[in-house]
Each structure stands twice: as C-alpha cells, then as structure tokens.
Amino acid sequence: MIYEKMAKITAELSGVPKSGWNPTQKFAFRSVDDTVAAVHAALVKHEVVCLPEVLSVERSAYTTSKGSEMHVASVLVSYTFAASDGSMVTTTMAGESADSGDKATSKALSMAFKYALFQTFTIPTGDADPDSETIEEVVGMIPQAKAKLQLVAALDGDAEAAKVAWNGHEGPISKTDLEAMIATARGDSK
C-alpha cells in the first residue's frame, strides 16, 4: 500500500519556489517550511506519516576570519514513511549546517528533512545541474553561478529581471561585463 500512496503523493507535487531570501549572502532559497507545506497536504490526503530517527550527530567548531566562533553540525537521519496497513519505506539523508549560536543541529535537521522530501518524492527544482559548471575559476572571470547571484542581489532580489538581464549568457563573465549588465538592467527596470 505504501508504494501506491507514495506514487500518488509524488504525482501531486509540482515544485517549491525559491521564496526565501538570504540578505547577508544575497541568494534566494527554498525554505524548509515551504517544502514541508508543499508535501504536507499530500501526505495527509493519502494518510502517510513520516517518522524521523536521528542516526548520528557530529559537532565541531571553527573560528571565522573575523574571529567569530561557528558551530557545525552534521546529522544522519532515517525517515520512515508509513501507511495505515503497516507498510513502510525508509530513506536516509545527511544534513549539515553552521551557526554562530545554538542552532547548528536544528538547522542540519531541517536541511536533511527538506532534501529527504525533495529526493523521496522527486520534487523538481529547476536548478542548474551541478555538473553544468566547473569549480575552477578562470583568472579575472566570475563563475556563472556566482555572477547570477550577484546579479539577483544587485536587482534587489528580482530573479525575473536578473533572468532577462542574463539573457542566455553562458559560462564565466568578467567583472566589467557583469557591471555593465547590472547597469543596463537597472536602467531597464526604472
């Protein structure tokens, strides 16, 4: 019964928008609350419960270049999805986070749950494939992913305006070209 129910849940899920904004690091993200909200109604409708079990927690700390102490947590969590007939499916997900206060573990648990839901129910993200870019930086060039984030930030989080301004550019971009792109986009949007 659980496989049939999970297939029905998956069929009802179409995606989760990046409605959260991190003003410090200037990037859009999908919140755990938005992700859970997207899945919750389908779980309830099809009478499937999720039972988490923390398998391990590892903690460490480091000092940032500004002298602040950051607490790091890495968790491994098992999630069992169960139906009323007793059938169940278990999946395991890792989560990591860093926090300057006492929230590293809770953030790591949130990350593990969010990604367990995305992967278990194959929720589409529309994000670029990690293999589509290289982490090597071309000297004097800004990697595409970083440049896109800077463009969105410069346009006050307006991802649609940034997409229009980016206009299909591929690969790394020079700082001068990115600044020109931002200036043009700001002129177009005002």
**Per-residue pLDDT reduced to its tens digit, 85-139:** 999 999 999 999 989 989 999 999 999 999 999 999 988 876 766 666 555 545 5
Residue 90's closest CA among 81, 99, 103?
81
pLDDT in tens, 47-72: 999 999 999 999 988 887 788 888 99
Q: Tokens at residue 91, please?
A: 């999946």
Task: Calculate the CA dihedral of residues 109, 112, 118, 119 and round it to 10 degrees.
Answer: -150
pLDDT mean across residues, the chain: 86
Query: pLDDT per residue over 28-48, tens digit each?
Result: 888 889 899 989 999 999 999
The model carries a pTM of 0.65
Amino acid 190: pLDDT: 45
Q: How far apart are CA 173 and CA 28, in angstroms?
A: 21
